Amino acid sequence: MNAPISPSLAEPARMQRVEARGRIGVRRDGAATRLADLFQEGAAKIRIPRSHAAGETLEAVLINTAGGLTGGDRVNWQASAGEGAHLSLTTQACEKVYKASAGTATVDISLRAGAGGAVAWLPQETILYDRAAFSRSMDVALAADAECLIVEALLLGRKAMGETVRNAAFRDRWRVRVGGHLVHAEDFRFEGDAAQLFSRIATGNRAAAMATILMVGHRAEASLAQARAMIANHASVGSGVQAGIRAGVSFWRVGPADGKSGKLLARIVAEDGYRLRSLLQPLIGLLNGKAGLPKIWST
């Protein structure tokens, strides 16, 4: 009954890992966008604030109930906006990627928008901790006259807590197509001492926070001048919150030759997350049209 446990050569039991999937689809119903499809599995949960349920844009909040990610965790998000429907997605909180004992935490994202539809991917920041390993892929397919807004922000630890990321692995892969044409492709990857890498002038100039904003659609060109003015005005202050932040924005005509689609691309680097948000929030409010900044970003 109390016999000692014998040693074993068997492989140790695999630690429990997150396996999560969430899917949401919306449709146009008169002047409103309404829910058409919803699926949740594992730690992936999707909530729809009541105040936004019957508007032109349906806002959904994505939740990882595991509280963060670590090596071996896998999360898949899928979102689609039907013809004329508008969908805005955000997260309940920052996604935290913790130290990995083995393996890589992976997040796969698939976004779709039909004719005249729009989808906005606006999660709060991802916080990468020391010795974390994280890989994210994003696949976006838009009809010729659809549009999307994608925002991804990354924090290298929390500066206020004195955290420094000395060893981490990160990879981010985006592919965006309009009418079947590839209009945006990027791969961002780093491994090793992130603090040292981004302290260099050519890579980050002491940045510990960064963001990419991509807008694809017919409104992109018209938004360029306002986005540039907002960035210039932010930089002109030159002190306080605005110090320690740099940004730029550009525009290209993309998509089918007979279309009116274009892409606006902005990059921001900052010394910390607080400074990053000081510019990121107004830019999202500008580029996300009538839907503006998700309310949860302000809570």
Asked whether residue 36 is assigned to any structural domain, the reply reads: yes
Contacts of 242 (CB under 8 A, 6+ apart): 234, 235, 275, 278
Asked whether residue 14 is assigned to any structural domain, the reply reads: no
pLDDT at 18: 80
Asked whether residue 187 is assigned to any structural domain, the reply reads: yes
Asked whether residue 123 is assigned to any structural domain, the reply reads: yes
Using a 10 angstrom Cβ sphere, with 0-12 exposed, 13-18 middle and 19 or more buried, the burial of residue 283 is buried
Task: Tell me the C-alpha distance between 160 and 150, whole Å.
Answer: 27
pLDDT at 159: 80
Asked whether residue 38 is assigned to any structural domain, the reply reads: yes
Place of tokens 């309310």: 295
Q: Residue 46 sits in which domain range?
A: 19-214
Our count of domains for the chain comes to: 1
- Transcribe 105-169 into DSSP letters: EEEEEEEEE-TT-EEEE---PEEEPTTBEEEEEEEEEE-TT-EEEEEEEEEES-GGGT----SEE
Asked whether residue 288 is assigned to any structural domain, the reply reads: no
In 3D space, the residue among 187, 195, 173, 259 whose CA is nearest the CA of residue 221 turns out to be 259
pLDDT at 3: 60
Asked whether residue 249 is assigned to any structural domain, the reply reads: no
pLDDT at 240: 47
Asked whether residue 134 is assigned to any structural domain, the reply reads: yes
In degrees, to the nearest 5, what angle opens at C-alpha 26 toward C-alphas 175 and 177? Answer: 20
Q: What pLDDT tens digit does each residue of the chain (299 aa) get? A: 566 555 545 555 566 788 999 999 999 999 999 999 999 999 999 999 876 445 789 999 999 999 999 999 999 999 999 999 999 999 999 999 999 988 999 999 999 999 999 999 999 999 999 999 999 999 999 999 999 999 999 999 988 787 888 999 999 999 999 999 999 999 999 999 998 988 888 888 889 999 999 999 999 999 999 999 999 988 766 554 566 889 999 999 987 766 678 999 999 999 999 999 999 999 999 999 999 999 999 86
